Amino acid sequence: MSEKKKLHPISAVASFLKQLKELIIPFVFLIFLNRGESSSGNFFIDNLPFFAIIVTLIFVLAFGIIKWVRFSYWIENGELRIEYGLWIKKKRYIPFDRIQSLNSTESIIHRPFGLVKIKVETAGASDKSQAEAELTAISLEDAKELQDIIYNAKKQRNSGIEGSPSTTEHEHEQKEEVIYQMSFKDLMLMAITSGGVGVVIGGAMFFLSQFNEIIPYELVFKELEEFVRSGVLIVSVVVLLGLLLAYGLAILGTLLVNANFTVRKIGTDIIITRGLLEKKQTTIPLNRIQGIRILENLIRQPLGYATVQIESAGGSVLDKDSTDIKLLPMVKKKEIQKILTTILPQYKLDLEYETVPKRALKRYLFRHCLVVLPVVVALPIIFWPVGLYSLFLLVPACLLGYWKYFSAGWNINDHQLAVRYRNIVQHTVYMKKNRIQSLEVTESWFQNKKDLATLRVTIKSGIGGAVGRVVDLESEAVDDVYHWYQPDHHPTGTKIHFQSRDDGSIIDEF
């Protein structure tokens, strides 16, 4: 692939549609800018917002075409080279050594033409808000050729062998293995137990809020008032049907996004593919994995299901797929260890956890009751005696506090630290000692009186860090974690914050 190549012309259309999506709100504002005012008699003045929209669309389309014409890419001297720029031509050379993954997407626009979008993720990218490079529309053949060239070049360089490409390709084929494929039963159960209904309802409310000039809300509310008077039963049925519709749309969305979810291992990479209408492929090098996080929500946990998420270094903040990587979106918890043994055998998941002491239970309950206490006190005073019903808010607050107390725990197994805690969802984070970025202990005055402390552990994830936090541990337990993590013994009573570099070496801060 030494000759320069162009993107498919559909990339100009994709660029146009992307900009159009960002201009929807300004266009709505322009359309209704002069609404309600008398006509001036001048056709141009009266329709100025529409002319402005048309001119903007022409410019956006023209810019998309110019960007497509000026964009080219090729491979030369072990680098992916790109020329681009709207007015000023820019060049970007990306050495193969820096390329960590090539993530692909086949959207509705790409698939009829046999095209794919490629995102190039690198180590140490200068701009963390986006991918290092993006090929918005290339053929599947070119994408496969690009992946093979980069893979083979990196493989030969890592092994120090300048062998023939055919040998490397044979090794590549031999190492491909399907690790996990989501069944339709698990996919449907995940869709049913997801929280997508709230997103759908929230999106609908936001959409309606943008059109208060179009929708005659006063008339709607008047009709709604008459409708409510017609009977509580009818209103209840309509509300229920609306919620069921939103729930159905949420289920459909989850099914389309995660259909054909498959995890494969090819060499030292994990490849995740998913999607029906929009097919996505995410590549995660094994050496980028910093830890494992298991998530169990209140619905799935009693059913014995969990979500396995990878904490991976790198990625861009705007690309959720590169930072929030669900390796196993919905799987039986008892099967997780067996599946992960194939790709991450160094992690041990079946552990016995040290829990927080019983004297910490009162603190967990008190903290959560304190959140609703202002409401419980204020409502009875303002709305006596109906406000007394607010006392029932203490029940879910206490239950949540107890669940957090019951879930909290930690475990040290050789060079692995595991912490377990709960927000609404229960989190269990598994970290290797040389992957921990920082380990901190905080101890408030009240905790000191009870001989308790809070442990906070950070590992690198995305462009920032992922945190595991356990509140109200025994001080002795915290000391055990310190002694496990620290490289040398320090004087008794010294408060130390340990932080590791990217290479695993450790810095001591007094």
Phi, psi of 128, deg, nearest 5: -80, -5
Cα–Cα dist 221/227, whole Å: 9
Which of 257, 481, 449 is CA-nearest to residue 354? 481
The amino acid at residue 492 is: T
Cβ atoms of residues 274 and 257 within 8 Å: yes
Closest CA to 433 of 417, 409, 457: 417
Task: Please report the DSSP string for 444-475 in residue order.
Answer: -HHHHHHTEEEEEEEEEEBTEEEEEEEEEEEH
Count of other CB atoms within 10 angstroms of residue 431 = 25
pLDDT tens-digit profile, the chain (510 residues): 568 888 999 988 888 888 887 777 777 776 665 554 555 566 666 667 777 788 888 888 888 898 888 899 998 888 889 988 878 888 888 888 888 888 889 988 888 899 999 988 876 555 544 667 889 899 999 988 888 888 777 677 666 544 444 444 444 444 678 999 999 999 998 888 876 545 545 555 544 444 444 445 455 555 555 555 555 556 666 777 877 887 888 888 889 999 999 999 988 889 999 999 889 998 888 888 889 999 998 888 999 999 999 988 765 544 555 556 899 999 999 999 999 998 899 999 989 999 999 999 999 999 999 999 999 889 888 888 888 888 999 999 999 999 999 999 999 998 999 999 999 899 999 999 988 888 888 888 899 899 999 999 998 876 667 888 999 999 999 888 988 987 754 444 434 454 443 433 333 343
Q: Is 452 within 8 Å of 470 (Cβ atoms)?
A: no
CB 18 within 8 A of CB 86: no
Q: Where are the beta strands (DSSP E) in 65-224?
A: 72-76, 79-84, 90-95, 99-106, 115-122, 133-139, 177-181
β-bridge pairing 279-285 and 269-274: antiparallel
Structure tokens of 197?
């209904």
**Cβ 134 vs Cβ 71: under 8 Å:** no
Residues in CB range of 328: below 8 A, 6 or more apart: 180, 263, 306, 307, 308, 336, 339
Name the strand (E) or helix (H) holding 311. strand 305-312
Q: How far apart are CA 221 and CA 240, in angstroms?
A: 19
> Residue 306: what pLDDT?
94
CA distance 24 to 210: 10
The reported pLDDT for the residue numbered 453 is 92
How wide is the angle at C-alpha 377 spanned by C-alphas 374 and 381, nearest 5°? 130
The rounded Cα 402 to chain-centroid distance in angstroms is 28
Q: Is-contact 434 418, C-beta < 8 A? A: no
What is residue 506's predicted lDDT score, i.e. its pLDDT? 36
CA separation for the pair 50, 33 (Å, rounded): 10
Question: Residue 266 has which token pair?
Answer: 């090819």
Nearest CA to 144 among 118, 170, 166, 162? 118
Residue tagged 């607050």 (tokens): 397
Provide the pLDDT for residue 250.
82
Residue 256 three-state SS: helix
Q: What are phi and psi of 244, to 5 degrees?
A: -65, -40
Q: In a 3-state reduction of DSSP, which class is residue 78?
A: coil
- Using CA atoms, how far residue 9 sits from 69, 146, 180, 200, in Å, is 9, 19, 36, 34
